Amino acid sequence: MKANLEDRLMEIGVENILTMDGYDDCMVGVLHRYGLSKNVAVYDREKVLEKIMRLSECSYSDAEEYYEFNQLGAWVGEGTPAFLVRLPEE
């Protein structure tokens, strides 16, 4: 049985982190940075877009628009989740 996100985060010593409801399967890690007092949840941008397209039955372009306004553009303080854009494979 796969552990839930909260259990997986506790395994690495992370508690009280802001996460996006419904996107546990898109989270890829936790950002630690000097000068940042809170841990930041990191989501795979492409996984988030794929999930939006699947749930909303919309195009990639519509998913990007939704993502940029509702997720990327949502500031909820220092612990606001971040989005990873992967480098293209060589």
At 9-19, the pLDDT tens digits run 999 999 889 99
Side by side, the strands of the sheet bearing 27-31 are 27-31, 40-44, 82-84
Cα 69 to Cα 10: distance, rounded to the nearest angstrom:
30
Average the pLDDT over 30-41 and give the result. 91
Average confidence (pLDDT) over 59-86: 96
Q: Indicate the domain borders of the chain.
A: 5-84
**Contact (CB, 8 A) for 24 and 5:** yes
Q: 2 pLDDT band (50/70/90 cuts)?
A: low
Averaged confidence pLDDT in the chain: 93
According to DSSP, the residues that pair with 82 across neighbouring strands are 42
Using a cut of 0.95, tell me whether the model's pTM lies above it: no
